[in-house]
Structures are given as structure tokens and as C-alpha cells.
Structure 1
């Protein structure tokens, strides 16, 4: 059992990291201060706070098209940095399909509906769900510590600021990971984002779930939890209403 950290804005922070890991669709310069406030007031270590804030600053200053290009170069090229959780655990075996069915059942039990073209194991969607589950949210993230650790080290190897988001999630869980061993493993991995390796991937059949795999199985903005479906009193991070979010999510007196 890991040492869980808790804080009034933990759900907000999980939602924020989930949004930052999703495909960039809006420049965040206008919301920089609100985003940084969420990070600053969190229970993260000083180092992880600084690294995530640096990542937010970089993304705030970057033209949206450049940010999208950076994202595509990382998460849409090769499988080593796939944000599909069970792809790292089960590969393309049938076990992955069953695992997604089970996860989808948990979403439905919590009142979360997802679009037919969404894969339930997509990390940003999984984090959005976790952010609505109150004290249980950290427990959901603890279940994927091995995947988060591997992604953190692989992103670190690519010198990507996205690594800070993975380290932040691991920090929230109080995860104890043998980083030296992982770094040695990743050091010897064959790169899968080269043109030659990418050609091999495109020749293989794409994984589908619940129909087709439109948009690569990435989440859309449809069918998010309504207020009466949520298990906490936090409001999801929303770039378009960050001012309202910041005030609405202040701790309520009991």
C-alpha cells in the first residue's frame, strides 16, 4: 500500500494534469495564473511543483500549432509513449479488451458516459474520471503506477516537459519506484518513433473498441459527468471558465 497524499485541491490537480495530457485544442496563456495557483496550492513536492509550473509556462508561450506538433511527435508516433493504459499492460492481446470492458463498467457504475469512439483506457479520460471520485481518486491512480513510472522515464529520456506531469501523479500517490532500474531498462529500449518503425506500426490493424477507433480512440468533449454523477464537490478544470472554476472549488465549510 502506498502512502496516499491528500489535499483540498487534489481532485483539481488530477483534472488539470488530465487536461494537459489531452490533445491541445486551446491556448492556455489567459489561464496561466489560475493553473499555477492549482499547482502551487497542491501537496506536491517543491521540485514537482516547479517542474509542472515550468511546463505550463512553456505551453503558455508556445503557439498552439507548435504545441500540437510537439504532442503529435510524442504521443502519436510509436507505442512506447502511448496514452492508452492497457496497451502497456496487455499489448494487443484479448486481455486488453476484457480489461477495457471492466473499466467501462466502473465508469458506468459511477454514472460516467463516454462517446462510442472513446477508449476507456485513454489516460486523460481515466484521470478525468479519477478526479470525480473524491478520496477514491488516488486509489485509481495507484493502480496504474507501473505505467505512469514507465511513461515518466521514457518522456524524461526524450527530454520532454510532459514527464513532469507523470512525476506529479506519482508524487500524489506517494509511489515508491526503482527509478534507476527503470532508467536502465529504458536506456536499452529500441526507439519506435523512427520512420522505419512507424511504417511497421501503420501496417498493423488498429485496435478498436465499441465500434470504430475514430480519432485514434482519443476522448472528445462529449458525455462528461454531470454534477449529480460526481462523487465530490470539485468542478472539472475548464480552460473556458477557469475564473469560475477557481472560486467554485474552494473548500466548503462543514
Structure 2
């Protein structure tokens, strides 16, 4: 399972306890494990586990790796559809959490596409919207200078997804915990604290990026 993008760039400063290489491993693993599972993913569980071994995030990923090992492919796919495609509580499209099904969301999606275009990378969406978390994680690995600030801009969405997965005791909750820990700043403990994060960044601004082209 190779990355969706073609080159790497230098990364901005991460938390002192999480170096750039570890953050890239966490994000690449998260991208693979949060996407719709295919046979190739199940065949690569051991490889992903080995890549995470020795990192501070290894324990956080253990439940989802055990989950994938515990069932056949069709059952894993059915679980994913039920919990991520059909449940708004676990939506993997980050702008949904902040903009819902509104006209504003269309503008946000166009702005994300603008960041992808600005990078010069070929972003393979495969019928997904540009705010699909696995795609955004792949982008952050390939172009951290743009991708990491983009993820940080949607930090509130990531935290709400993390809280929802934890409340519902899903094995993927640890993946979101690890992803949030790979970004600057502490995670909020309550939904009220997350709402404060939303208020701080609305309306949409991609801090630290060049102005993107709006459609």
C-alpha cells in the first residue's frame, strides 16, 4: 500500500516528544486503518504493527489491529460501512463536523482542493470528497508544510471524531487519539472545549498557507 502522493517536503515543528518521522508513521498508519478495508490491508496488519513498534502510539493502535485480525474481510468491510459510512457520529469527512450539509461546506471543500493544487501533488480522491480523513492524512505525509496546518485547521473535527469513537467504545478510537497527539497543542477533554476551538477558527482560515484559489 504505497502513499497516494509522490514526494516529501520538510515538516514544521512537532511536539518535542513526537519527532517528524514518528508523526509521519502515525499519520500513514492512520490513513490506512481508517480507510475502507481491502484484502491488502488485512495482509499488511503485521507490517503496520512493526512500523509502529517502539513509538509512543503503538499501544493506541493495538485495538484496531486486533480488531482487523479477529474477522474475515467481508465482516471488516461491513463493520466499516456501518460505523463510518452510515453513522454521522463517526463521519470521516472533516468539514461535515464544522459545516454540516450547508452551502458553506462547498466553499470549504473547494478551499481544500485549492491547497492540494497548490502543492503540485497528484491527489487521488477515488470518488471521495477532499476532506476525507485518510486522504488528508496521506497528504500530510507527502507535503507536511501544507498538510499539517490543514489537519490542525480541522483539529476540532478530529477531536469530535475522537470523542465519538471513544464514547461508543470502537477500536478506532486509539487511532484518533494518536493522530490528535501528533498535532501541536493539548486535546480538549469535553465537547464544550472543542466548541471553543471551532469558535476560534471560524470562519475558515488556512493559517500559515498561501491564499488558495476559491472556485
TM-score range with shorter-chain normalisation? 0.7 to 0.9
The count of residues paired between Structure 1 and Structure 2 equals 179
Q: Residue 119 of structure 1 aligns with which residue?
A: 129
Q: Distance in 2 between matches of 1:184 and 1:143?
A: 16
CA contact (8 A) 2:181 2:187 kept: no
Q: TM-score, normalised by structure 1?
A: 0.63
CA contact (8 A) 2:96 2:105 kept: yes
Larger Rg: 1
Match runs of 1:162-173 below 5 Å: 162-173=172-183
Q: CA separation of 1:133/1:58 partners in 2, compared to 1, >3 Å: closer, same or farther?
A: same
RMSD: 2.5
Q: Residue 185 of structure 2 aligns with which residue?
A: 175
Do structure 1's residue 36 and structure 2's residue 45 form an aligned pair? Answer: no
Q: Residue 58 of structure 1 aligns with which residue?
A: 67
Q: CA separation of 1:158/1:104 partners in 2, compared to 1, >3 Å: closer, same or farther?
A: same
Match runs of 1:116-195 below 5 Å: 117-134=127-144, 136-179=146-189, 181-182=190-191
Q: CA separation of 1:10/1:63 partners in 2, compared to 1, >3 Å: closer, same or farther?
A: same
Q: Distance in 2 between matches of 1:22 and 1:63?
A: 16
Q: TM-score, normalised by structure 2?
A: 0.73
- 1:159-215 deviations in Å (ceiling 9; x for gaps): 101111110101111431331x23999xxxxxxxxxxxxxxxxxxxxxxxxxxxxxx
Which runs of 5 or more residues in structure 2 are unaligned?
A: 1-12, 195-215
